[in-house]
Structure 1
Amino acid sequence: MAANPTLAGTAPATNTTTNTTMAGAPVMVIEAAGLAGRSMGQRSRLADTAAGGGESGPRPFSDLVHAASRRYSLDAQLLHAIIRVESNGNPRARSKAGALGLMQVMPGTGARYGVKNPSELMQPEVNIDVGARYLSDLSRMFGDRLDLVVAAYNAGEGAVMRYGMAIPPYAETQDYVQRVMGRLDGGAR
């Protein structure tokens, strides 16, 4: 793997490399300041100590985030980072693609986890629970490779698998992974 030049806005502690799949498509592999290759629990402890997790002061929906992180054995910092990048903390956020709420959950993903009425995804407790359950499943699917978990949350697990268990070469997904990982690395992007 050859190192890529640092992308604009990327913290120096974030390593970006490219790889090529069998199909010849370039894909990105990202490691943020020693967080990649560690268990979710180890990353949680490291991220919690890194500049306060990249945020200062109280965070919106912290109680719900911490409850979901305990319930699904996830790093609360990861949930906070995804909420910040996905919706900037707006529980009423709606994307053009149809994603809803704080964690921008698609109605199909909600249905996968038993939410039959998409409007329920606008309730912070439902949205955070579904988003955290999905992240937990992705974590098991990708063997705790946090960069792939984050990429799959954005692009779907099928896209990550199609590109040889690597971050798909979609500019939006590559930027998304950089932004989420940067927040875990103590940066507030």
Structure 2
Amino acid sequence: MKKLYPLKYSDIVYKYSREYDIDPYLVFSVIKAESNFNPDAVSHKSAYGLMQVTSTTGEWIAEQMKIEDFTLNKLFDPEYNIPMGCWYIDNLRKEFGDNMDVVLAAYNAGRGNVQKWLNDTEHSKDGKNLHYIPFKETDKYVKKVKVNYKIYKFLYDK
């Protein structure tokens, strides 16, 4: 099972999960769901690298993180991609709170979509939780990351 759920890039993951106070197993779970640990992954929506950061989001994150020499190719470098992905999860958590379902939905579908869903009683009864995610891909994504997380915790959290 540990071959299917590796702790690749653990030095970088542990460093930045500590810096941004994120459970490292969540970061491994996102990487597993996003790219299956392929640093050269490119999605059909033009998201790049381990944590599948899009070029526009990458540019914005680089600006926020004060990364001055950002280029699209850096998204293929785990030394850039993982810190940027961790920063982004933390940024979403600051907006949406510690509800990981909402944070993960925003990571996948964008914060604007999630804000709309939270403001719509069809998707959120209380404006804080999503009881229905209208994008099937995002609903599957959130569930996949949560399953990955449970497996990582089971395998490695001793």
TM-score by length of 2: 0.79
Corresponding residue number in structure 2 for 1:180: 145
SS for the counterpart of 1:84 is helix
SS for the counterpart of 2:151 is coil
Could you tell me how far 1:108 is from its partner in structure 2? 1.1
**Structure 2 Cα separation of the partners of residues 186 and 100 of structure 1:** 25
Q: Unaligned regions of 5+ residues in structure 1, if any?
A: 1-54
Say if 2:29 is the partner of 1:81: yes
TM-score by length of 1: 0.67
Match of 1:107 among 55, 72, 76: 55
Whose strand fraction is larger, Structure 1's or Structure 2's? 1
Corresponding residue number in structure 1 for 2:40: 92
Q: For residue 85 of structure 1, what is the amino acid of its counterpart? A: A
SS for the counterpart of 1:159 is helix
Q: For residue 111 of structure 1, what is the amino acid of its counterpart? A: E
Listed one character per residue, the Cα deviations across residues 36-60 of structure 1 (whole Å, up to 9, x for unaligned) are xxxxxxxxxxxxxxxxxxx636511
Match of 2:84 among 115, 126, 130: 130
Q: Percent identity?
A: 39
**Structure 2 Cα separation of the partners of residues 186 and 86 of structure 1:** 16
**Structure 2 Cα separation of the partners of residues 147 and 134 of structure 1:** 15
Check conservation: 1:92, 1:100, Cα contact below 8 A.
yes
Could you tell me how far 1:113 is from its partner in structure 2? 1.9
Listed one character per residue, the Cα deviations across residues 53-94 of structure 1 (whole Å, up to 9, x for unaligned) are xx6365110111000101111110110000000000000000
Match of 2:2 among 50, 56, 68: 56
Could you tell me how far 1:182 is from its partner in structure 2? 1.1
Corresponding residue number in structure 1 for 2:124: none
Corresponding residue number in structure 2 for 1:153: 107
**Structure 2 Cα separation of the partners of residues 168 and 175 of structure 1:** 9
Could you tell me how far 1:140 is from its partner in structure 2? 1.1
More contact order relative to length (CA 8 Å, sep ≥ 6): 1
**Structure 2 Cα separation of the partners of residues 81 and 154 of structure 1:** 13
Check conservation: 1:159, 1:168, Cα contact below 8 A.
no
**Structure 2 Cα separation of the partners of residues 176 and 62 of structure 1:** 22
Whose helix fraction is larger, Structure 1's or Structure 2's? 2
**Structure 1 Cα separation of the partners of residues 48 and 9 of structure 2:** 16
Q: For residue 124 of structure 1, what is the amino acid of its counterpart? A: P
> Size of the alignment, in residue pairs?
134
